[in-house]
Amino acid sequence: MQRTPYFPTTRDLEDSVFRQILDGLLNLVYPENCLICSAAITRQRDCGICAHCWNKAVTLRIDPPWCASCGLPFHHLLEDSESLCANCILNPPPFSSARSFGYYTGELSSVIQVMKFLGRRSLAEQVSSLLAAAFYRTWSREEFDYVVAVPLHPRRKRERGYNQSELLAQHLARRIALPLYHGLKRIRSTNPQVGLSNSERIDNVQGAFRCPDSRQVSGKRVLMVDDVMTTGATVASAAQALLEAGAVRVCVLTVARAVR
C-alpha cells in the first residue's frame, strides 16, 4: 500500500523554529555535556552524546566472517561462508539467523547504556540508524512481514518508564517501511541475565514469552529487535514463542553483540 507523503504544516514549522531558538538559549545558559566523555555539546543535535563518541561507536562495527546462524564474529577467514560456531552446531537456535551492528564494548556499549538507563529515549532514533545499516547488509525488507521488539515484563517497564528495544523497533520499522507486531508478550518476570552462566540464562528465560493471540503472526516472517545479544538465550526464548504462535521465520537484529 502506497504511503501518503507527509508535508510539514505551518504550525510544524513554527514549532521547529521555536524549538531551535529555545535550544539555542538553553545551550547558552545551561550548556550540556556528553554523557560519555563530558565534552560540551548542543542539546538538540547529539541526544546527550558528542559527535566524537558517536563516531567512535560507529567504528566498532562487526564485519564478516561471522557465524551464519547466530552472527558470532569469527577472528579468522573461513573457506565456507555458511560456517557455524560450535554452539550453533551443538545447539541450533530456533531463529533462522541473527546479526548485530557492532561489538558491545567501548563507546557503543556506553551509548546503549545511556539510552537504556539514563532516560535518553530520543537517542533511540539515532541508534536505529545502526540497526538499519546492519539490516541492509544481510536482508531486504521483502523478506519480512513484521518487526517486533523483545518485550519487557510490565513491571520492569513501569520501573524504567519505557522499553528501549521497543523504541528501537519503532524507529527501525519506519526506516525500513515494515509494520510493527505488538502481540509478543513477556508473561513472566525474570532475573537480570548479567552474571549468569549460559545454562542459567537459558533456564532464567525459559517460557518467559508468549503470543496470546496468534492469528496476526501465523504464517508470517518476523524480524525481532533487541539492544544487546550475549548468549542469545533471551532472543531464542522469544523466537520460540513466535514460532509456536505460527510464525514461519524469525530473524534477530541487535545493536550490539557481547563477545566473551
- Cross-strand pairs, 186: 209
CATH class for the region spanning 64-257: alpha beta
Cα separation, 44 vs 24, in Å, equals 9
Tracing cell 546479526 back to the chain, one arrives at 99
> φ, ψ for residue 101 (rounded to 5)?
-65, -50
Q: Which residues contact 66 (CB under 8 A, 6 or more apart)?
A: 72, 73, 74, 99
Output the DSSP codes for 125-147: HHHHHHHHHHHHHH--GGG-SEE
Length of the chain: 260
pLDDT, tens only, 7-66:
444 454 455 556 555 555 555 556 688 999 999 887 655 488 999 999 999 999 999 999
| Residue boundaries of the structural domains of the chain | 64-257
* The dihedral sign for the CA sequence 218, 219, 223, 228: positive
Task: Single out the residue of 124, 101, 86, 121 nearest to residue 228, CA to CA.
Answer: 101
Global pTM value: 0.85
Region 82-102: what's the mean pLDDT? 94
> φ, ψ for residue 227 (rounded to 5)?
-80, -50
